[in-house]
Structure 1
Amino acid sequence: MDFRLMTRRYGPTMHLTPTGELDLETRAALDEVQARLEGVAAVACDMRHLTFMDVTGLHGLTAFARRLGARGIAFFAYNWQPQPRNLMDLVDRLYPPAGHDRNRPTHLLRRSLQDSADAARAMGAALAQQDAARRTADAPRQR
């Protein structure tokens, strides 16, 4: 089955609906979305039409979620179908977390909307503090 990625934007929220099979060859679609996220605060990904995901697709989606988090953008995926969910369960069983569930390999893909938003706000605040500190350090000193 072919892969398609429908995108819709509502203000600061980008909605993604992947359809078909997520694998190595479809990773470019996520990279393309990444380039169009100026002014986006949250990405909501409806997985109801994603019928298959292999390990390379899982890795690509997890990397996508990490890159969003690094930019202070919340990522939330929902309506997982059985095959992709079973793959995530298998990966989590093979690589158990050290400590808290937040260390599971697929944690970023399973977070609730509230968890995603809280993490994005924290990252956004940290980025703002870094920017303010940089501007203060770069400002000319007054006598």
Structure 2
Amino acid sequence: MERDFSITVRRYGPTLHVTLAGELDLDTRSALDDVQAAFGDGVAVLCCDMVHLAFMDVTGLHRLLNLARRTDGRGIAFFAYNWQRQPRRLLDLTDSLYPPDGHGEPRSKPTSMLSRTLRDAAVSHRATGVETVRAALSRRRM
């Protein structure tokens, strides 16, 4: 059964702004491939606006997490915002399946990449950028 789903991709300088709308589920599992295809030279940030994402199943969550990991692996800051009730609940339920470790310490939440704030993303990528610059400078000195 085909469900309504759409993706709008816009680029503003180094920022790729993506709006997901409808239902991200098994039927739309390959839809996020278009987002990765939109990566080009100079993309530094991927912003996903979830204001129109009404529903997401586990398959959609898996695909979105894969997109976030691939983005992060390329050194591109990723963050999603304006989560609606059902997708937010799926993130919370998924995270609740990972109780603290045996020592009472919290475990890393599997959906943490989708829940990062802009400040969190900026801090982590600023640190990554500093390490990249340091590595480049040390190579030049050799």
Same fold, TM exceeding 0.5? yes
Among 4, 11, 20, which residue is 1:18 paired with? 20
1:24-43 matches, cutoff 5 A: 24-38=26-40, 39-43=42-46
1:41-60 matches, cutoff 5 A: 41-60=44-63
* Conserved 8 A contact 1:96-1:104: no
In structure 2, what is the Cα distance between the partners aligned to 1:35 and 1:128? 27
In structure 2, what is the Cα distance between the partners aligned to 1:106 and 1:6? 23
Residues 84 and 71 of structure 1: is their aligned pair in 2 closer, same or farther, counting only changes over 3 Å? Answer: same
In structure 2, what is the Cα distance between the partners aligned to 1:47 and 1:22? 11
Q: C-alpha displacement at 1:12, in angstroms?
A: 0.3
In structure 1, what is the Cα distance between the partners aligned to 2:130 and 2:69? 17
Q: C-alpha displacement at 1:131, in angstroms?
A: 6.5
Matched length: 136
Residues 90 and 108 of structure 1: is their aligned pair in 2 closer, same or farther, counting only changes over 3 Å? Answer: same
Deviation readout 1:95-126 (Å, 9 max, x if unpaired): 2354456x101100000101112223333454
Find out whether 1:107 has 2:107 as its counterpart: no
Higher helix share: 1
Residues 131 and 66 of structure 1: is their aligned pair in 2 closer, same or farther, counting only changes over 3 Å? Answer: farther
Among 81, 88, 91, which residue is 2:91 paired with? 88
Among 117, 125, 131, which residue is 1:120 paired with? 125
Task: Point out where structure 2 has 5 or more consecutive residues left out of the alignment.
Answer: none
TM-score by length of structure 1 reads: 0.82
In structure 2, what is the Cα distance between the partners aligned to 1:131 and 1:30? 33
* Conserved 8 A contact 2:21-2:54: yes
* Conserved 8 A contact 1:2-1:21: yes
In structure 1, what is the Cα distance between the partners aligned to 2:26 and 2:134? 37
Identity between Structure 1 and Structure 2 (%): 56
TM-score by length of structure 2 reads: 0.82
Among 62, 66, 75, which residue is 2:65 paired with? 62
Q: What is the aligned partner in structure 2 of residue 4 from structure 1? A: 6
